[in-house]
Amino acid sequence: MNTIKKNLGFIWILLAIVAIGLLLQSAFTHIKPNGKLDINKPMPWMIIIIVFIPIAVGLGLFGWYALKGEYDRKES
């Protein structure tokens, strides 16, 4: 079970990195200076990025701690 937790920790770290990358790529793709739709305006994207980045960093930290074995069950 501890091995599964460590492997999932690696997956959580990768997921956090990929999620941040996809979010930033989507923002750069959709923001247009003369866009008429809400998705083309920079303000909603700034709000989404400001809210989502700390969540993704927390997911990465969770994975880091799982990878390091902080959540392993200690035998007594």
pTM of the model: 0.82
Q: What percent of the chain has pLDDT over 90?
A: 58
Q: Is the pLDDT of residue 27 over 80?
A: yes
Please write the tens of the pLDDT for every residue from 33-65: 787 887 888 888 999 999 999 999 999 999 999
pLDDT at 31: 87
Of residues 5 and 59, the one with the higher pLDDT is 59
Measured torsion, CA atoms of residues 75, 62, 5, 72, in degrees rounded to the nearest 10: -10
As a whole number of angstroms, the distance between CA 23 and CA 4 comes to 28
